[in-house]
Amino acid sequence: MKIEAKNLVRTFQRYAALNGVSVTAEDGELLALLGPSGSGKTTLLRLIAGLDYPDSGSILFDDQDATRLRIQKRRVGFVFQHYALFRHMTVFQNIAFGLDVMPRRMRPPKTRMREKVGELLRLVQLPGYENRFPHQLSGGQRQRVALVRALAINPRILLLDEPFGALDAKVRKELRGWSNSCSRS
Amino acid sequence: MAAIAVPCNLVFGLAAAWAVAKFSFPGKSILVSLIDLPFAVSPAIAGLIYVLVFGARGWLGPVLETYNIKIIFAVPGIVLATIFVTFPFVARELIPLMQAQGTEEEEAALSLGANGWQIFWRVTLPNVRWGLLYGIILCNARAMGEFGAVSVVSGHIRGLTNTIPLHVEILYNEYDFVAAFAMASLLALLALATLVIKSLVELRMRLVEHRSTQGSAAV
């Protein structure tokens, strides 16, 4: 899906986090935002995800205005900087959360959910981790759980906020290679 | 009394803490001050305010009388006084906890398509359950022992509007020392039981905290 941001402005108190930012990402494109901390990368991602709204400017998904669209309708996967895994839930419950909160008529049956979570965990090389809690995982493992949790709802866009920030160089390299191959497929 | 006052404050405290910790809105600092008000005001004054508002010669007294509703010198008055005095416990316990946890998990739930109700029941509430229990216990302890405010509004009608602390005072003033000390011991036992439960919850909370800090240290 094509994402287009036009002249986005977002001000916090008097500080302008974004001041007339325009970006376009083509369908299937893998786009990285680079910049020093405090330059507004997170703010831009939050506006695209629908966690926050711009003061002015517009966001288009496939040429349709999505600026004021509610986050639940955007079908955007968001991986947070600190993962934001639900700490009181197991890995399975974390990944299945997005499916579990669907309206009853759209919700897949339990067996299908179990299959899907198993599939996703194999994809990120964490098979059999369903019953672990987030605090029992390493940083890199948490990251991958956060990633497949966002993928479980079949998002149209996947947004990653500082996806490799909190990881050591070795794990970072592994994951970068993996996410490249993932976006190509 | 505690049986009615504690659930009320559970709901009020949870709602207030949620509003204060997770949202910013105009008048927030006023709400925070209002939460603390019962700590600052003497319970006896709180009781007198209730008399002023609901008493026979109070502002709402004539209205209440026409509908034959009794608040002062009746059970509703005691419950209202207890609610006021114990109001801060649950909210005060939860606000720092909720602030420390931030809104990231709620936002994650939002991005996964959950609605407000689902976020509250599945994410916010489970994350504060031990703190909430702790607040309830403190609230309950205070509700059982409250004397000042309740003394003003209850009217000391034995068997009808008497609480244990008030009964202790009456018996003591009547020089019925054996009965007074018996009642006092009963209250003390209840307090001890509350303390034991409180320590158990504290232990459990520390274990949970230990677990999560250990986890984040590994990142």
User: Hey, is A120 helix, strand or coil?
Assistant: helix
Of B13-17, B27-31, B193-197, B214-218, the poorest mean pLDDT is in B214-218
Q: Please, which contacts does A66-74 make with residues 24 or more away whose CB atoms are closer than 8 Å?
A: A71/B110, A71/B111, A72/B110, A72/B113, A72/B114, A72/B115, A74/A49, A74/A50, A74/A156, A74/A157
Residues of B in contact with A150 (CB under 8 A): 111-112
Q: Identify which of B109, B113, B127 has the shortest CB distance to residue A87.
A: B127
- Per-residue pLDDT of chain A (185 residues), as tens digits, is 888 888 888 988 878 888 888 999 888 888 888 888 888 888 999 999 988 889 988 999 888 888 888 888 888 899 988 889 998 899 999 999 999 888 888 888 888 889 989 988 888 888 888 899 998 998 888 888 998 899 888 888 889 888 766 566 666 666 666 666 655 54
Q: What Rg value do the Cα atoms of chain B yield, rounded? A: 21
Contacts of B115 in chain A (CB under 8 A): 72, 101
Contacts of B219 in chain A (CB under 8 A): 138-139, 142, 166
Looking at per-residue pLDDT, the higher value among A161 and B7 belongs to A161
* Mean pLDDT, residues B74-95 taken together: 81
Among the partner residues B105, B113, B212, nearest to A135 by beta-carbon distance: B212
Q: H-helix or E-strand containing B154?
A: helix B148-154
Report if pTM > 0.80.
Answer: no
B212 vs A87: CB contact, 8 Å cut-off?
yes
